[in-house]
């Protein structure tokens, strides 16, 4: 444990615009809680950065005093990289400006902004960029790991829409990263996580989207899951890129359009969003409605901003969460059989397994075009273990691991870095594949002493 003198802390505090929280501060305990309640860490101090000057000063203070350093954006990372023990947390949650240039179709986004902050501003002009599926997620962490969601089949990964960023590197310097400036750093932050510095502003390309999209849910009884997934698999290649359809297996939540007798029973849910002309939506989703005999459905035009918040009630903070994940090139019969068995043995009513169909524009760039390499992924599969009581930890974690092991033979052998839990550092080679050595070279250049290591760490070799 590193000890820092009170005079050094006082001097540090005096040079800040933001708030420095210490363990005896009133807000400290609330500030060290993040989305995943399984993460319980006790930093020495938390700096709520008010701007780039605070970020630079925080990085310098951690470096000079040998303090562990963690960077908090939205605080959503499943592995808890937003916090460290006995170190300094740079909390970006106060830096949440989103500025839209509708003529140039550009967004300038600070690292504390959530998906909802971004969507709210961009949708005022009928614009959007591909983001995730839970509006309380931080833009920064999502982007730095790759990023995909409902718009990705048409417009690519989030990193494919990043056109520049301002990055404070380990030496405290503010650098512009783009195709023409520090292009090695720009390549690395598009998928390489928080390994290379602190992004203080992202610049994204925007696309015309909405404000209305067509979509919703079709809910099938689980007895029809196998046949429905076979039809889903067969239909996927012909789906237009404006249509995203995800399959979710879980117990039915008490949604108002489902009959009460279905609540709490196993179901297969097809969640879909069509971002083409709204009047074409019913025809675009008609094939999905024929995958089985629904026990309920809720489909229609809705604001894109509203759809982006549709799953928030199932993903509120404060629950215990544990994920396991594979990238898939196909949905094999054996995978479907393993899914059915896993849903029949769910350890908690909040657990679920989803197949997120991406493909389309996400597969067009070369694997080495960005640090995110997994361009052959057609479906992102995530096993989402979720429960409330710590006494259920062992049982729920074992369930997720067992399904992950059973489905490994049907997967591509790669993994999405944003879905990796704390103990999965052994899978970093799976996350980066052929790009790993090049990432190490960039790490050696910008962070040779590994100041930024509270992440899925790319270790320097110098």
Rounded to whole angstroms, how far apart are CA atoms 162 and 186? 9
* Domain shared by 202 and 342, yes or no: no
* Domain shared by 81 and 187, yes or no: no
- Supply φ then ψ for residue 242, to 5 degrees: -75, -10
* Domain shared by 388 and 318, yes or no: yes
Q: Using DSSP bridges, classify how beta strands 127-128 and 243-251 pair: parallel, antiparallel or unpaired.
A: unpaired
Q: What is the mean pLDDT of residues 436-459?
A: 98
> Which string of DSSP letters, residue by residue, matches 200-265?
EEEEEE-EE--SEEEEEEEEEEGGGHHHHHHHHHHHGGGS-TTEEEEEEEEEPP--TTS-GGGTTS
* Domain shared by 284 and 388, yes or no: yes
* Domain shared by 398 and 261, yes or no: yes
| CATH number of the domain where residue 110 is located | 3.30.465.10
* Domain shared by 369 and 220, yes or no: yes
Q: Has residue 60 been placed in a domain?
A: yes
Residue 3: pLDDT band by 50, 70, 90 thresholds? confident
Phi-psi region of 393 (alpha: psi -120 to 50; beta: other; left: phi over 0): alpha
| pLDDT (tens digit per residue) in 320-365 | 999 999 999 999 999 999 999 999 999 999 999 999 999 999 999 9
| pLDDT (tens digit per residue) in 389-414 | 999 999 999 999 999 999 999 999 99
Is the CB of residue 366 less than 8 Å from the CB of residue 318? no
Instruction: Indicate the number of domains in the chain.
Output: 3
* Domain shared by 368 and 233, yes or no: yes
| CATH number of the domain where residue 18 is located | 3.30.43.10
| pLDDT (tens digit per residue) in 11-58 | 999 999 999 999 999 999 999 999 999 999 999 999 999 999 999 999
* Domain shared by 114 and 50, yes or no: no
* Residue-range definition of the domain harbouring residue 10: 6-91
Q: How many CB atoms lie within 10 A of CB 462?
A: 10
* Domain shared by 411 and 272, yes or no: yes
Q: Using DSSP bridges, classify how beta strands 88-91 and 69-72 pair: parallel, antiparallel or unpaired.
A: parallel
Q: For residue 165, give the nearest of 152, 174, 153 by alpha carbon.
A: 174
Which residue, chain included where needed, has tokens 């270790």? Answer: 459
- For 141-174, letters b (16+ CB in 10 Å) and e give bbbbbbbbbbbbbbbbbbbbbbebbbbbbbbbeb
- Strands of the 174-177 sheet, one edge to the other: 98-101, 106-109, 198-205, 162-168, 174-177
Q: Has residue 454 been placed in a domain?
A: no
SS3 string of 72-122?
Answer: ECCCCCCCCCCCCCCCEEEECCCCCCEEEECCCCEEEECCCCEHHHHHHHH
* Domain shared by 291 and 320, yes or no: yes
Q: For residue 417, give the nearest of 346, 329, 325 by alpha carbon.
A: 325
* Domain shared by 86 and 102, yes or no: no
- Supply φ then ψ for residue 27, to 5 degrees: -90, 0
Q: Has residue 121 been placed in a domain?
A: yes
| pLDDT (tens digit per residue) in 58-99 | 999 999 999 999 999 999 999 999 999 999 999 999 999 999
Residue 263: pLDDT band by 50, 70, 90 thresholds? very high
Q: What is the mean pLDDT of residues 169-188?
A: 98
Q: How many CB atoms lie within 10 A of CB 253?
A: 17
* Domain shared by 225 and 297, yes or no: yes
């Amino acid at each position: 444990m590193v000890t820092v003198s009170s005079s050094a802390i006082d001097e540090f505090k005096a040079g800040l615009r933001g708030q420095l929280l210490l363990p005896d501060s009133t807000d400290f305990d609330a500030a060290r809680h993040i989305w995943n309640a399984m993460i319980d860490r006790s930093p020495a101090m938390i700096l709520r950065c008010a701007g780039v000057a605070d970020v630079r000063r925080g990085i310098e203070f951690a470096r000079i005093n040998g303090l562990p350093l963690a960077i908090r954006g939205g605080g959503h990372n499943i592995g808890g990289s937003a916090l460290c023990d006995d170190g300094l947390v740079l909390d970006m949650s106060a830096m949440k400006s989103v500025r839209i240039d509708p003529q140039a179709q550009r967004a300038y986004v600070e690292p504390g902004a959530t998906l909802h902050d971004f969507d709210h501003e961009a949708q005022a002009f009928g614009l959007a960029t591909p983001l995730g599926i839970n509006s309380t997620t931080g833009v920064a962490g999502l982007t730095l790991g790759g990023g995909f969601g409902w718009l990705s089949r048409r417009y690519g990964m989030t990193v494919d829409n990043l056109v520049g960023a301002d990055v404070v590197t380990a030496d405290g310097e503010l650098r512009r990263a783009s195709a023409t400036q520090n292009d090695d750093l720009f390549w690395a932050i598009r998928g390489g996580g928080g390994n290379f510095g602190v992004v203080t502003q992202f610049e994204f390309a925007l696309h015309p989207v909405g404000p209305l999209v067509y979509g919703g849910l079709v809910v099938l009884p689980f007895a029809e899951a196998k046949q429905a997934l076979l039809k889903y698999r067969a239909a996927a290649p012909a789906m237009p890129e404006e249509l995203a359809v995800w399959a979710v297996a879980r117990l039915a939540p008490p949604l108002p359009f489902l009959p009460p007798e279905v609540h709490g029973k196993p179901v297969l849910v097809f969640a879909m969003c069509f971002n083409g002309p709204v009047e074409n939506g019913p025809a675009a989703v008609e094939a999905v409605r024929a995958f089985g005999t629904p026990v309920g459905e809720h489909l229609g035009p809705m604001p894109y901003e509203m759809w982006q918040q549709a799953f928030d009630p199932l993903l509120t903070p404060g629950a215990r969460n544990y994920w396991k994940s594979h990238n898939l090139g196909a949905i094999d019969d054996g995978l479907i059989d393993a899914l059915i068995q896993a849903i029949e043995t769910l350890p908690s009513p909040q657990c679920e397994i989803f197949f997120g169909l991406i493909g389309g524009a996400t597969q067009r760039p070369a694997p080495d075009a960005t640090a995110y390499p997994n361009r052959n992924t057609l479906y992102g599969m995530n096993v989402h273990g979720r429960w409330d009581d710590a006494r259920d930890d062992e049982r729920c974690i074992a369930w997720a691991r067992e399904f992950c092991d059973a489905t490994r033979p049907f997967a591509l052998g790669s993994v999405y870095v944003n879905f990796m839990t704390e103990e999965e550092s052994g899978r970093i080679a799976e996350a980066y594949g052929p790009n790993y050595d090049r990432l190490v070279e960039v790490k050696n250049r910008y962070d040779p002493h590994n100041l930024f290591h509270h992440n899925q760490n790319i270790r320097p070799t110098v």
